[in-house]
Amino acid sequence: MKFRSLTMTLGLICCVVLGALPSVASASDPGPYPDAKASDPAALGWMVGAPPPTDRIIRFDDGTYFKFPQWRWSVSNFRQLMPTTNVSRGTSNPSRLEYALRNDIDSIAFVPTGGAETMTWGQSLDKNYTDGIIILQRGRVVYERYFGVLKPEIQHGAMSVTKTFVGTLAALLVAEKALDPGRKVAEYVPELAQSAFGSATVRQLMDMTTGIRFSEDYANKDAEVWAHAAAGNPLPKPADYRGPRTYYEFLVSVQPEGKHGDGFHYRTANTDALGWVISRVTGRNVAQLLSEKIWRRLGAEQDAYMSVDSVGTPFAGGGLNASLRDLARFGEMVRNGGRYNGQQILPAEVVSDIRKGGNRDDFAKAGYKQLQGWSYRNMWWVTHNANGAIMARGVHGQALYIDPVAEMVIARFASHPVAGNAVIDPTSLPAYEAVARHLMRNAKR
Amino acid sequence: MKFRSLTMTLGLICCVVLGALPSVASASDPGPYPDAKASDPAALGWMVGAPPPTDRIIRFDDGTYFKFPQWRWSVSNFRQLMPTTNVSRGTSNPSRLEYALRNDIDSIAFVPTGGAETMTWGQSLDKNYTDGIIILQRGRVVYERYFGVLKPEIQHGAMSVTKTFVGTLAALLVAEKALDPGRKVAEYVPELAQSAFGSATVRQLMDMTTGIRFSEDYANKDAEVWAHAAAGNPLPKPADYRGPRTYYEFLVSVQPEGKHGDGFHYRTANTDALGWVISRVTGRNVAQLLSEKIWRRLGAEQDAYMSVDSVGTPFAGGGLNASLRDLARFGEMVRNGGRYNGQQILPAEVVSDIRKGGNRDDFAKAGYKQLQGWSYRNMWWVTHNANGAIMARGVHGQALYIDPVAEMVIARFASHPVAGNAVIDPTSLPAYEAVARHLMRNAKR
């Protein structure tokens, strides 16, 4: 039945798109993709015209939106491809972003990881298929660029950067004593008692140290990631579909693998389970809570939004879309110890707990070659580099980089043809460090 | 095939929902519906819980969203039910709405049309299943109420109020000499040459005096409204579907009926065709143009959004969703002769052309018993009452009422169980006039 196979494909695609890929699991050969200039979505004119030319139409239902270079348009237009729920900024004025633009950033040179020749910051942007990037120093915008179809007012898919927002909300609830990280997941969500999650602690969810069977091996049609994707697909299920029909139904079915607490395993389902815990504790879904606890208080310039499954559950593992400046505002708030827009948005203890990081031995077991010495805490990536930088990371190049010593925040959206950050990190992590060094040497007070 | 019938049903529902019903065509018996209090969507807890209880889940794909009282939740949550495109307010601060709230509105009494006993304004709100209503006098908010799940920051379906925005954009383009109302539609959109629209003038589209076959008789399965709905349905089409696949494909198929210019005939397809003309002339779809020409310039407090078909064409005939305050801002701008937020947003001549109205004899032929003496111009309803009030109107009680003499603007969103305004007008049109009289007598400077 043609419809069925199509829907199943969509389920898959939907999941891949929205961030289920672990950051380095797909470090495959980048293949013969057109470069940033040749794949520029504005130049290619996707979805322009009344109607657009046939070969410039991008649809959700035939999977064209996930092809490359169409993908470069899709990441800034998810709401036009699927149902979404709003993350309201409320009714107030946006908080004011101060500008102190400087023209010496593009020429900053760095050596890509594993490379020999230097590259400039300006060159790295195309290399990484950057859609938008902003740099704040001491809260002031020193650099801001948009490419392709992204604009300041457009929300871009944050992919697994979503997880960092969800982990931060959980840490906030812990600080508020609304959530006990030592309690078992099943105590909050009895429906998960028979799943692998039930016996894990909330802290193990928050730090992704659960022992669950959740393969993100897309080459294996029996991998759990397929069932997760099909469950979360908001399109009508085919009549003969027998699998889980929502994210929650999928989570209930997750089986154990290994032991809880036995090392860091980056698995998207943990964040979805954490989202369920959060929703049960607060009576709000993660989109509503994100609006209430963070978006409104930041003075966000734009609403954000999240993709949802067929019963309105936001995709906690990867469904957030936000504007670049608002991602930077969030980063600046964390850099400031939780304070922004005239108020303490996160308790300082939440931020210090994130910066302190997780267990580095646990992290090392995951074998990320480029992330040696890092850890993972409250769904933040903690570099433990000389400046103590922390990151939020999503597939295809989404990143939030906070350097407390350089007093610097970098927010980046991208649409790299390859999902895994292992392909992207060599030209971004050393670039961020180079900019930090440059700004520290050349600060303008 | 079960899937097919479901999709066809959805197509229908989608169309009904989004405003295709003429304002009085469905003046059927309101039936045994629960009243406003009993159908309060917040009290009923739709889509609350993780997951919501089975009997509190609202879906697009099974049609529950269109049932009553579920409908009262759906009208404030369309983006969670279907793909949408943004109408950006830009990046600026919202324009400031001044408040001069007064407490003497609820007790204003009026006699409903055709009734004998008086009713108070306060009583009329429940009678009309009001979700939100705001009254401005001389630009200041004198009254504002929200019910159920609507809030100031939430966008509500505007239904056919959408048409008024599209007609206003066309009138603006005419004033800018970008669009010649005397030219034939086919000169702008050659694809429409063989359809009934091709030989009509742009002005005939704008005033709905085309001679086209477009039955909105939902009881007749061969009515054109079904094909229109199926074409615009954003869900994947069944494999054996052979009809038009987009709004534009549908418009190309529209056949003539009667003569162009021979009376006013309220038919949604005219607005969709006008949207096509506008898009061809400007290179932007109506959502993009609405953002550029109106939303950003008003200093809207919230983005608006529009539903789209499978190739991203916004539903010009009824797909707009906006916040109540922003609808009021638009009304206030028109009341002010096109000026708002420190700038001339519409040329004064556009507003005076709307206020002057259309041909009242043409209008009379349509036989609206409660709207005697009215006319229709640039997709505005012109009352020609003593104060020269003009209106935008949408099914289920959506309304924008501008009274130039009382210097008053009323914006209302509602979720009446009956679509046709003929059921709603008796307790709203005289209520608006009563408030106007009251404010004129009791103005506070």
Q: To 5 degrees, how large is the angle CA B377–CA B228–CA B378? A: 10
Token digits for B105?
């509105």
Question: Which DSSP letter does residue B51 get?
Answer: S
Token digits for B42?
């917040």
Burial B42-55 (b: 16+ CB within 10 A, else e): eebebbbebbbeee
Q: Give the start-to-end residue ranges of the domains of chain B.
A: 1-160+283-445, 173-271
Each residue of A214-231: pLDDT tens digit? 998 878 888 998 899 999
Each residue of A424-439: pLDDT tens digit? 999 999 999 999 999 9
What 3-state DSSP class applies to B145?
strand
- pTM score of the predicted model: 0.94
| CA dihedral (B426, B432, B438, B440) positive or negative | negative
pLDDT for residue A25 is more than 70: no
Class in CATH terms, A98-158+322-441: alpha beta
Chain A, nearest residue to B64 by Cα: A311
Domain range B173-271, its CATH number among 1.10.3720.10, 1.10.10.10, 1.20.58.710, 3.40.50.300: 1.20.58.710
Largest CA distance in chain A: 66
pLDDT of residue A221: 85
pLDDT for residue A270 is more than 90: yes
Mean pLDDT (whole number) for A70-91: 98
Each residue of B87-129: pLDDT tens digit? 999 999 999 999 999 999 999 999 999 998 999 999 999 999 9
| pLDDT band of A443, cuts 50, 70, 90 | confident
Q: Are B94 and A90 inside 8 Å of each other by CB?
A: no
- Shortest Cα distance from A264 to chain B (angstroms)? 27
Strands (DSSP E) found in B269-388: 304-307, 320-322, 339-340, 343-344, 375-377, 380-382
| pLDDT band of A31, cuts 50, 70, 90 | low
Report the topology of domain B1-160+283-445. Beta-lactamase (3.40.710)
Burial A68-87 (b: 16+ CB within 10 A, else e): bbbbbbbbbbbbbbbbbbbb
Q: Which phi and psi (to 5°) does residue B186 adopt?
A: -65, -25
Mean pLDDT (whole number) for A387-391: 98
Average pLDDT value over all residues in chain A:
92
pLDDT of residue B217: 81
Each residue of A54-64: pLDDT tens digit? 999 999 888 89
- Shortest Cα distance from A310 to chain B (angstroms)? 7
- Which residues in chain A touch residue B279, judged by CB atoms under 8 angstroms apart? 50
- Which residues in chain B touch residue A81, judged by CB atoms under 8 angstroms apart? 83
Residue B266 exposure: Cα atoms within 13 Å on the Cβ side: 30
DSSP readout, A17-34? HTT-S-TTTT-----S--
8 Å CB contact between B278 and B169:
yes
- Which residues in chain A touch residue B287, judged by CB atoms under 8 angstroms apart? none
| Same CATH fold assignment for domains B1-160+283-445 and B173-271 | no
pLDDT of residue A407: 98
pLDDT for residue A350 is more than 80: yes
Token digits for B173?
């383009």
pLDDT for residue A120 is more than 50: yes
Query: What element of type H or E holds B273?
Result: helix B268-282
Q: Are B311 and A52 inside 8 Å of each other by CB?
A: yes
Question: Whose CA is closest to A161, among A374, A388, A401?
Answer: A401
pLDDT of residue A72: 98
pLDDT for residue A29 is more than 80: no
What 3-state DSSP class applies to B238?
coil
- Shortest Cα distance from A280 to chain B (angstroms)? 6
Question: Whose CA is closest to B51, among A272, A210, A125?
Answer: A272
Pick among A10, A65, A311 to test the B interface (most B CBs inside 10 A)? A311
Q: To 5 degrees, how large is the angle CA A8–CA A10–CA A11? A: 65
Of A130-134, A225-229, A257-261, B323-327, minimum mean pLDDT range:
A225-229
DSSP readout, A48-86? -SSSPPGGG---STTSGGGSTTTHHHHTT-GGGTS-EEE
Burial of B221 (0-12, 13-18, 19+ CB in 10 A): exposed
**CA separation (Å) from A428 to A410, A431, B255?**
11, 5, 58
Query: What element of type H or E holds B351?
Result: helix B348-356
CA dihedral B347, B352, B354, B355 (to 10 degrees): 150
pLDDT > 70: percent of chain A: 93
Q: Are A248 and B50 inside 8 Å of each other by CB?
A: yes
Question: Whose CA is closest to A29, among A419, A443, A444, A434?
Answer: A419
ipTM: 0.93
Residues of chain B with pLDDT under 50: 1-30
- AA identity, residue A208: M
Write the CB contacts of B390 (distance below 8 Å, at least 6 apart in sequence): B334, B354, B355, B357, B380, B381, B382, B383, B401, B402
**CA separation (Å) from A65 to A41, A70, A393, B179, B379?**
12, 6, 22, 34, 36
Write the CB contacts of A145 (distance below 8 Å, at least 6 apart in sequence): A125, A130, A132, A133, A134
Question: Which DSSP letter does residue A147 get?
Answer: -
